[in-house]
Each structure stands twice: as C-alpha cells, then as structure tokens.
Amino acid sequence: MAVASSCKQNDDPAPGSVVGSWIGKYSTNATTVPNITWDTMILTSSGALQGSDRMGTFNVSGNVITATYVRTGTTFSFRCDIKEDFNKLEGTWGNGASQTNGGLMVLTKQ
C-alpha cells in the first residue's frame, strides 16, 4: 500500500480565520480616531505575525486576538476584537507588554 503526503505549507485562510494579510490605521492615543497607516501585517496559520519590519506571535481566543511583536528593535503588543466575520480587527495597542498604552487601531483583511 502506498501513501502519498505533501510537505507544502498551506497558509490559505480557512473560513472564520484571522490568517491572512491585514492593513489599516492606528492612532497614538486612546481618544483620536486611527489616522496613521498601519503597514501590511501577515498572520500565518502557525501563529506568526510578520511584516516588512515586524516579527512576533499572536493568539486567538474566542473573538479576541492578542499579539506581541518586535518592530525596529522595540516590543509592542495589541488586543483587538475580531469583527465582521473575521474581516475586521478593532482594539488597542501598547508599548512592551501593555496592550493599551499606545492608542487605537482598526485593521481590515485583504
């Protein structure tokens, strides 16, 4: 009996998944509407967060995503509610382990 297998990693998002490419806006305080461009961020099926100048990890629990990543030598974190059938993230970001001391963020899946 022969068994075939594939080693190809599949990062295609499953329905109801945060896996994929995200873009959006952020602000630098908790009262300003996000208006600064958030560069493309990729969330992989292995739990990695990647971007042109950031690397980190994320976790999804229910309808909440949390992440910690390093961007240009500085650590940041965020916590967002997952909305619109896993196509929108809304929440806060912060410096270091804080998920709230930086500002607001809104990202949409591409």
User: pLDDT by residue (tens digit) across 59-97?
Assistant: 999 999 999 999 999 999 999 999 999 999 999 999 999
Domains parsed from the chain with CATH numbers: 20-109 (2.40.128.10)
In the block, residue with structure tokens 């509610």: 81
Output the pLDDT for position 15.
53
pTM of the model: 0.84
Contact 109, 86 (CB under 8 A): yes
For 17-67, write each residue's pLDDT tens digit.
Answer: 999 999 999 999 999 999 999 999 999 999 999 998 999 999 999 999 999
Query: In the structure, how many helices (H) and strands (E) does the chain have?
Result: 0, 8
| CA gap 20, 12 in Å, rounded | 7
Nearest-angstrom CA–CA distance, 110 and 100: 25
